[in-house]
């Protein structure tokens, strides 16, 4: 396995549509077959002030690539590597680790085009929510720059319907419609900002709470030669993979500051700004996403988490208000997120 660094991204991926303007406030994402979310995702992030979208498309075949290529503010990149391909990555500090290609590209591709500016990072089923009274992501960038902060973290808040029956029908095509269809979230703090340090994580994700409530437990499945012997690494891969409680959706890209994976920057983020990312896991696409993730095996540990999601969905069918507990509330506005400790401004 060859060792790669950030500087190798340009030979491993290429622009296939559009031209990057390094002066435009850009949102980066990796995607595969996300046509269901794309219209709403682009419209929402345009509305909050992103001016350009840099997308690494992992060989989509559902119309996503064609749709993205038709957008004047979107630049699309391709690679001969799939998301789940394993690389040996050496970071700028000289530390080596095994990394999936999709995560490597998230770390490295923006470095090809941007220097000394902030870049956004969210996935196709994630929607960045701005604080009350803030109308543009540019205001957040300006505050971080004034503060001298290299990044801002966000609480990752899962939204959901009251019951599994709410996952039926068509996927809504706008952010407001997504919120209306899947209006509930947990009013529970997830991130504790620390001065001069990485944030401390608190509580549990909604996914973890549902697994516990419906008694979904890890099960080791042995196939082929694993019936005779299975390594501890392979056993661990079949444990629950924690759903994210935070991520770093804004990072200044320069020689000192960078994203280090899916959720952290290498330097301590702002201790005064906490954003919120609305994560739409539980939607009309839920069952299909389980099937796709299992087929691709590109997610962490060959998509073991989605095997447990399938069991969860089966147990929740027919249970009235099965998603709700005493801390579930319906979303009304960003001030709620501040009141619940999920946002700070």
Residue 225: pLDDT above 80? no
Please report whether residue 54 resides in a domain: yes
Q: Which helix (H) or strand (E) holds 236?
A: helix 232-237
* 3-class DSSP assignment, residue 222: coil
Q: What is the pLDDT of residue 312?
A: 93
2 domain-assigned = yes
Average pLDDT of span 66-80: 98
Q: Which domain holds residue 39?
A: 1-114
The answer to the question of residue 293 being in a domain is no
The torsion of the CA quartet 58, 60, 66, 71, rounded to 10 degrees, works out to -50
Q: What is the pLDDT of residue 237?
A: 53
**For the chain, how many residues are written?**
345
Is pLDDT of 297 > 60? no
Report yes or no: 5 and 91 within 8 Å, Cβ to Cβ: yes
Kindly state whether residue 14 falls inside one of the protein's structural domains: yes
Tokens 């540990």 locate to 301
Q: What integer pLDDT is reported at residue 256 of this predicted model? A: 94
Enter the DSSP assignment of 260: -
The pLDDT value recorded for residue 145 is 97
Asked, for residue 12, whether it belongs to a domain, the answer is yes
| 58 occurs within a structural domain | yes
pLDDT of the residue at 166: 95
Q: How confident is the model at residue 301 (pLDDT cuts 50, 70, 90)?
A: very low
Q: What is the pLDDT of residues 157-188, one digit of tens each?
A: 999 999 999 999 999 999 999 999 999 999 99
Residue 302 pLDDT class (50, 70, 90 cuts): very low
Cα separation, 322 vs 326, whole angstroms:
12
Q: For residue 217, what pLDDT is reported?
A: 84
Report the 10 Å Cβ neighbour count for 235: 13
109, 26 in Cβ contact below 8 A? no
> Which one has a higher pLDDT value, 122 or 304?
122
Asked whether residue 257 is assigned to any structural domain, the reply reads no
Burial of 272 (0-12, 13-18, 19+ CB in 10 A): middle
> What's the pTM value of the predicted model, to 2 decimals?
0.91
Total number of domains in the chain: 1
What's the mean pLDDT in 322-327? 97
Q: What is the pLDDT of residue 220?
A: 60
Q: Which of 8-17, 290-299, 311-320 bottoms out in mean pLDDT, i.e. has the lowest?
A: 290-299
Give the residue with greater pLDDT, 56 vs 243: 56
6 within some domain: yes
Query: How many Å apart are CA 321 and CA 324, to the nearest integer?
Result: 6
H or E element in which residue 334 lies:
helix 334-339
Share of the chain above pLDDT 70, in %: 89
d(CA 127, CA 40): 9
pLDDT tens figures, 123-132: 999 999 999 9
Spatial separation of the C-alpha atoms in residues 49 and 47, rounded to whole Å: 6
Residue 148 in this model has a pLDDT that exceeds 60? yes
| 3-class SS of residue 178 | helix
253, 111 in Cβ contact below 8 A? yes
Each residue's pLDDT tens digit, 87-131:
999 999 999 999 999 999 999 999 999 999 999 999 999 999 999
């Amino acid at each position: 396995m060859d060792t790669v660094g950030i500087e190798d991204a340009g030979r491993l991926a290429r622009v296939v549509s559009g031209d990057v303007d390094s002066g435009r406030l850009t949102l980066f994402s990796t995607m595969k077959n996300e046509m269901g979310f794309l219209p709403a995702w682009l419209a929402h992030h345009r509305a909050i002030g992103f001016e350009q979208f840099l997308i690494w498309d992992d060989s989509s075949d559902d119309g996503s690539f064609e749709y993205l290529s038709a957008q004047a503010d979107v630049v699309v990149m391709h690679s001969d590597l799939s998301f789940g391909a394993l690389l040996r990555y050496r970071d700028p500090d000289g530390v080596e680790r095994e990394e999936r290609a999709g995560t490597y590209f998230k770390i490295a591709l923006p470095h090809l085009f941007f220097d000394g500016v902030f870049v956004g990072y969210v996935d196709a089923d994630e929607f960045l929510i701005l604080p009350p009274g803030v109308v543009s992501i540019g205001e957040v960038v300006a505050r971080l720059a004034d503060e001298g902060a290299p990044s801002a973290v966000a609480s990752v808040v899962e939204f959901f319907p009251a019951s599994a029956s709410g996952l039926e029908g068509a996927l809504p095509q706008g952010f407001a419609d997504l919120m209306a269809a899947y209006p509930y979230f947990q009013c529970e703090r997830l991130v504790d900002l620390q001065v001069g340090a990485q944030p401390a994580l608190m509580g549990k994700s909604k996914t973890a709470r549902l697994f516990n409530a419906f008694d979904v437990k890890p099960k080791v499945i042995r196939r082929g030669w694993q019936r005779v012997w299975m390594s501890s690494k392979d056993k661990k891969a079949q444990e629950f993979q924690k759903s994210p409680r935070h991520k770093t959706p804004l990072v200044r890209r320069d020689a000192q500051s960078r994203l280090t994976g899916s959720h952290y920057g290498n330097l301590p983020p702002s201790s005064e700004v906490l954003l919120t990312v609305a994560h739409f896991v539980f939607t009309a696409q839920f069952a299909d996403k389980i099937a796709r993730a299992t087929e691709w095996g590109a997610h962490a540990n060959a998509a073991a988490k989605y095997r447990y999601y399938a069991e969860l969905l089966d147990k929740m069918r027919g249970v009235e208000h099965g998603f709700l507990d005493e801390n579930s509330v319906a979303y009304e506005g960003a001030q709620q997120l501040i009141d619940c400790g999920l946002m700070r401004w």
